[in-house]
Amino acid sequence: MRSAHTVEQVREAEAALMARLPEGALMQRAAAGLAYAVIDLLGSAYGRRVLLLVGSGDNGGDALYAGTLLARRGCQVEAWLLSDKAHRAGVAALRSAGGRVTVWSRQARPPGATRPPGDAGPEVVVDGIVGIGGRGGLRVDAAAALAAVPGVPVVAVDTPSGIGVDTGELEGEHVCADVTVTFGTHKIAHLVDPAAAACGAVHLVDIGLDLPPAPVEALQPEDVAAILPRPRPDAHKYTRGVVGVRCGSAAYPGAGLLSVAGAATGLCGMVRYVGDRAVADRVREAHPEVVGDGRVQAWVVGSGGGEHAGRELADAVEDGVPVVVDADALAHVRGRLGVPGVLTPHAGELAAMLGTDRSEVEARPLAHARRAADELGAVVLLKGRHTLVAEPTGRVRATTTGVPWLATAGAGDVLGGLVGALLAAGLEPFDAASLGSWLHGAAATLASDGGPIVASEVARHVTAVVRELPARV
């Protein structure tokens, strides 16, 4: 599991570790990991040009000590100090290793800011401006320093400066990193958009922290393999679970077909379709193994349901089994469902449910997903680049699988069917939603192979993804 902890959790763990280590040892561990990550990005050390942007916090100290190690390996290292409270020992160490240190100001830029002809400038910028305890966007001077080196790859220390570390939100100007080197654990902003999009590739350096359970996490293939329901040797179709699909209509038959396609990927024992007769005929043509009405262990409701979605939701809830509520049925959720549920809105749908603007949900997806889960007493799967799955307790999983090509019509219908099948197979709503989202993204990645995809191809690749999961331990 990829775990993301809060700033407070990290600070407490760091304090406990520092109490057992020699003074400065923790910063040296972090600096070493940062320095080697910079070398990996550059491909070599000797003669390479590195610029450090250094603020007043510990991240600035990490950057300075990393710069010291890089200078000793033959890099040309320059530091621009953005605060008169920069880490003194780190500044002294860099100077003693041959690094160049200057004080930045917009009025009196350091010599490196306006480079003479023939000087190619830095090959990489290390962002040590603000630590994980920072609030709000970049200050004006810091933003100006960053703007003085446009187009240069950026390695952020712990998190890109200016982002909301505990919220995943963006509150002003911020660093957009190509690589983020973080220490001890991931931070929430590494997994939660929109801040996660500013982190680039995230590289974790283990510094020996002893941490409590994380409030935000992301499944990895080993976790998926461990959670995925698998048939017992004596299994039959009913013991593996039956999922019912109430989706599609004469106006939107494709929604029914794609919801069934997601459900009929072999993750449960049987799929039943209940809906428009014309759609049912097409479902049976495409999926002859799908049958009609009868007992189920979970329902999938809403996609393409149109004016009938409210009635279909009421009928599913009356059955007393878990329900996946998607698309048109979301507008009919007035409060707690009364049965275990997974709500699968995109940002616009969640905004309508909460009485706010879509832009607000997109700016603060973590806060809104948690709010909806708490108020509605259901698991909320908020679709996005990093889909968030929130349960009423506040625990969240972020989905990091998937490709931009997955933003295609019908992909959400397939996802609803997948989640419903996992619910019917016996998973709790939180696991079913997060596992279904992970498989959906992984199948899209496999189907895409770098090119465009359509939703039906995602469903067809789920089997291959499951086949390639690590062996269950």
275 annotated ligand-binding residue: no
Phi, psi of 119 (to 5 degrees): -90, 115
Rounded to whole angstroms, how far apart are CA atoms 19 and 157?
Answer: 23
Q: Is 413 labeled as ligand-binding? A: yes
Q: Give the 3-state secondary structure of residue 338.
A: coil
Contact 93, 27 (CB under 8 A): no
The reply, when asked if residue 58 is annotated as ligand binding, is yes
Q: Binding residue per annotation — 459? A: no
- Tally the residues of the chain: 473
**Is 83 within any annotated ligand binding site?**
no
Q: Is 158 annotated as a binding residue?
A: yes
How many CA atoms does the CB half-sphere of 373 hold within 13 Å?
A: 25
CA diameter of the chain: 80
Residues 6+ apart with CB under 8 A from 318: none
Q: Are 304 and 327 in contact (CB under 8 A)?
A: yes
**In whole angstroms, how large is the CA radius of gyration of the chain?**
26
CB contact at 8 A, 63 and 93: no
Phi and psi for 371 in degrees, rounded to 5? -60, -45
Q: Is 143 annotated as a binding residue?
A: no
Token representation of residue 219 = 């499944």
* CB-neighbour burial class of residue 107 (10 A; exposed 0-12, middle 13-18, buried 19+): exposed
* Interatomic CA distance for residues 60 and 85, integer angstroms: 10
* 255 labeled part of a ligand binding site: yes
Residue 83 corresponds to which tokens in the numbers above? Answer: 């605060």
30 is in an annotated binding site: no
DSSP lists the bridge partners of residue 343 as: 325, 380
Neighbouring residues of 30: CB distance < 8 A, sequence distance ≥ 6? 62, 183, 205, 207
Whether 441 and 401 have beta carbons less than 8 Å apart is answered as: yes
131 labeled part of a ligand binding site: yes
249 is in an annotated binding site: no
Task: Tell me: is residue 281 an annotated ligand-binding position.
Answer: no
Asked if residue 387 belongs to a known ligand binding site, the reply is yes
Flag whether 137 is marked binding. Answer: yes
The pair of structure tokens assigned to 9 is: 């959790």
Q: Is 384 annotated as a binding residue?
A: yes
Question: Binding site annotation covers 441?
Answer: no
* Residue 304 labelled as part of a binding site: yes
User: Is 386 one of the annotated binding-site residues?
Assistant: yes
Q: How many CA atoms lie within 13 A of 188 on its CB side?
A: 27
Token readout for 345 is 């809105």
355 is in an annotated binding site: no
The answer to whether 220 and 439 are in contact (CB under 8 A) is no
Q: Is 295 exposed, middle or buried (0-12, 13-18, 19+ CB in 10 A)?
A: exposed
Is residue 194 reached through a cis peptide bond, with omega within 30 degrees of 0 on the bond before it?
yes
Is 163 annotated among the ligand-binding residues? no
Which residues are part of a known binding site for (6S)-NADPHX? 58-62, 131-137, 158, 255, 304, 346, 413
Which residues are part of a known binding site for AMP? 383-387, 412
Which residues are part of a known binding site for K(+)? 59, 127, 161
Which residues are part of a known binding site? 58-62, 127, 131-137, 158, 161, 255, 304, 346, 383-387, 412-413
